Structure 1
């Protein structure tokens, strides 16, 4: 008590409370500013409490793709097996996905759009993702119905799934009726499903709706072979909201190659657990105007509300 005012020492807060507070800061602030404040805050950043929810989506769009896997491994290691969410774009290889799965016993939300993983690794490791309730595999061109089937059979708690595809790059498009069959036959508890710009037809959509009795939201924007006439819409379950197939809202353009070749925001070597180099990070002074423009991409998954899913389980 000083001058009638109760003075609180923030350094004395419990690590889990600090983790909740720091989760509202940017990745840059948590890794480069917070550790410099005091020893207890530095220890909190090094511990698992700050990394139960790893959401580095925005950062992964800006950075050099070669840095994404390394950063993700560092943060997953710090989580100490207490992961609840991973949201990142552009995982480059199966080894990183395997590392994530090995630390995913408590994982509930897995959003990894534009990842480069294969069917074989998903089939091999899907059983380790059994606690996941929401998953996003949008724009993942190397996975197919094999992966979706493995996920549906292993992730029995899955209530939200995103499998949006690129609206412009037709070279990456292929018939996806088998993926619709995989969803219908293995993901019966879905409440939220996004399959925008998938190459599916009306029969595929009807089969999904018939099989997923709890479905509340279905996004089929850009699925041009899906024909939903008024008679069909009148017969749908009242609780089901269908968006599409016509694109009725504006979407956000994003550059898939929007990164700097001189990514100096983080010193990845210094982020190693056995190094104190967290104190040596540099500021990134590069202007956004100097970055390279790329392809257009829809980012539907950004609208996902975690509290909504938590209410389902």
Structure 2
């Protein structure tokens, strides 16, 4: 006969707070894992000795989320130093890292040197990462399966770093290569599309938001990536999905986003330019001005920040 179920815990007296230190360790770990790396290093690990010990466990750093608002002038932390510390704490177990705005070639290669098991790398609006830096890091990441290099440059990548990624990361299944979409001028470029088609045959998911590829580039991707299941072409205004190409996409791709589909579910990183007058997320005037001629982007492009060395508080230990 099954034992009787345990009696429910008596209600706490009014005004009595729960002692969070009495939670099982695995529950506390689960709660802390929901915080980003910045919150853990600046706040959570300073709560008590128990939390500090949990926050130093390498298993807590298999995934490092360094998302931040990008407002470096008001941020009292040196994010690059903080990110290196988080990578060190993983003790080689890091498999997933998300870096926004502050990534550099030096930081990217530090991550690659310390994390050969890395499977997911997300670099968003990291304008200090060069094509050479990306290529050098990719050569050290043979297990990489997901790569997001969106909004990382004010110009399109050339084919060389994408070719290196394809050759050195044969397990790559997901690629996001997003930029801000523009209708004018009518620039067509299939270089990135051809590099993807010729070097990434195992892709299952591809997002090329705001890319300048044409129908020829899209056709090459369909031919070169036979396992592709999800394709996001939003704001790819040089693509015309009519006729045979449209039918080919409908037959081959399970989840297809069209160039004019809504963009409500995607965060467009414009780094300071305003889209108040462009609710669809793109602007005609960022690329072309009758008065001032041709511009790649409007706004200041210098986002380098060199803050003070971070103070992790009384509970910071190496």
Name the CA distance, whole Å, in 2 between partners of 1:187 and 1:81. Answer: 26
SS of aligned partner of 1:86: strand
2:145 alignment counterpart:
133
Asked if structure 1 preserves the Cα contact closer than 8 Å seen for 2:36 and 2:65, the reply is no
1:85 alignment counterpart:
96
Q: 1:204 aligns with which of 210, 217, 223?
A: 217
Higher share of residues assigned helix: 1
Q: 1:152 aligns with which of 147, 159, 166?
A: 166
Normalising by structure 1, report the TM-score.
0.72
Segment drifting more, 139-148 vs 4-13: 4-13
Normalising by structure 2, report the TM-score.
0.71
Asked if structure 2 preserves the Cα contact closer than 8 Å seen for 1:35 and 1:42, the reply is yes
1:114 alignment counterpart:
125
Name the CA distance, whole Å, in 2 between partners of 1:229 and 1:169. Answer: 19
Q: Which protein has the larger Cα radius of gyration, Structure 1 or Structure 2?
A: 2
Asked if structure 2 preserves the Cα contact closer than 8 Å seen for 1:119 and 1:147, the reply is yes
Structure 1 position 214, deviation (Å): 0.8
1:256 pairs with 2:265: no
Asked if structure 2 preserves the Cα contact closer than 8 Å seen for 1:68 and 1:90, the reply is no
Deviations 1:2-46 (A, max 9, x none): x985999856855x7644331113555423443244312111213
Structure 1 position 88, deviation (Å): 1.6
Name the CA distance, whole Å, in 1 between partners of 2:81 and 2:93. Answer: 19
Deviations 1:95-150 (A, max 9, x none): 11111111221211101012221222222231211111110011122743111110
1:61 pairs with 2:70: yes
Asked if structure 2 preserves the Cα contact closer than 8 Å seen for 1:184 and 1:208, the reply is yes
Deviations 1:224-264 (A, max 9, x none): 11111044322333543321222434355656259xx9x9x
Structure 1 position 61, deviation (Å): 2.9
SS of aligned partner of 1:71: helix
1:179 pairs with 2:192: yes
How many residues were matched structurally? 266
Segment drifting more, 114-123 vs 30-39: 30-39
CA RMSD of aligned residues (A): 3.5
